[in-house]
Amino acid sequence: MEQETHLNESRPATPGTTRPGGRTAKVRRAVLDATLDALAGTGFHALNMDRIATGAGVGKTTVYRRWGSPAGLVADLLRDMAEQSLPASDTGSLADDLRANAELVRTTLADPRMGAVFRAVIAAAACDEECARALAGFYRTRLAAWAPAVARGVARGEAPAGTDPVELLRAVSAPLYYRFAVTREELGADVAERAVAAALAAARDGVFAGA
């Protein structure tokens, strides 16, 4: 089914940004869902533009014109994942907000489907500069969404003044991603709990203040 759309206002750099409820958005949704399926199933190296188009029920020309390359698909998927991610929590306790953050990271990576997607995009970032920039952008967006939770905790005096929210959040994520992407160990709830305890202890010691 070679149904082409001709939306010249849709710039290739940010596909689907126009007419959010319209055909452009529907095409983007179908293509990104097919991309997610493909990444979860066979990874980045087997990502095939023609099969994505077929899987999404979208014309090949549309997929090539809007996304350009498999890396372009991955980059847009990561933008979409960052936008669709759950909002940061606001429990009134820094420790509880960090626990919520660690559990969100842990359950995402431990989920068979989303774990496979993250494995694929991390591998893609290792060999493709566009994917690397897109993955960095994904983490930038997520860290920016969660930084206010840490800033509120600092304002309440739960960590020293001057604590860098992003450094503290990275310290929570690092042990989870290290096990996931490098040593490939089980990600039990205890790992998330220990990551939070360690990061908080370091924060209270002033390690992330003036970083």
Geometric angle at alpha carbon 106, from 184 and 28, rounded to 5°: 100
Site for a copy of itself in 3-32 (CB under 8 A): none
Residue 107 token pair: 């359950």
Q: How far apart are CA 89 and CA 92, in angstroms?
A: 9
Q: Of the ranges 10-18, 29-37, 69-77, 164-172, which one interacts with a copy of itself (CB under 8 A)?
A: 164-172
Please say which residue, 65 or 204, places its beta carbon nearer to a copy of itself. Answer: 204
Q: Could you say which of 73, 117, 173, 192 contacts a copy of itself (CB under 8 A)?
A: 173
Q: Is 207 in the site for a copy of itself (CB under 8 A)?
A: yes
129-134: list long-range contacts, CB under 8 Å, 24+ apart.
Answer: 130/69, 130/71, 130/72, 130/74, 130/75, 131/44, 131/71, 131/74, 131/75, 133/75, 134/71, 134/74, 134/75, 134/78, 134/79
Q: Is 104 in the site for a copy of itself (CB under 8 A)?
A: no
Residues in the chain: 211
Closest distance of CB 195 from a copy of itself, Å: 8
> How does DSSP classify residue 43?
-
**Please, what is the end-to-end C-alpha distance for the chain in angstroms?**
55
Q: Going residue by residue from 118 to 147, which x/- string records binding to a copy of itself, judged by CB under 8 A?
A: -x--xx-xxx----x--xx--x--------
Q: Is 111 in the site for a copy of itself (CB under 8 A)?
A: no
Number of residues that bind a copy of itself (CB under 8 A): 37
Helices (H), the chain: 23-42, 49-56, 60-67, 70-84, 94-110, 112-127, 129-155, 165-177, 189-204
Q: Is 178 in the site for a copy of itself (CB under 8 A)?
A: yes
Closest distance of CB 211 from a copy of itself, Å: 6
Q: Of the ranges 7-15, 63-71, 95-103, 202-210, which one interacts with a copy of itself (CB under 8 A)?
A: 202-210
Q: Could you say which of 84, 87, 182, 186 contacts a copy of itself (CB under 8 A)?
A: 182
Please say which residue, 52 or 135, places its beta carbon nearer to a copy of itself. Answer: 135
Interface residues with a copy of itself (CB under 8 A)?
43, 45, 119, 122-123, 125-127, 132, 135-136, 139, 167, 170-171, 173-175, 177-178, 181-185, 190, 194, 197-199, 201-202, 204-205, 207-208, 211
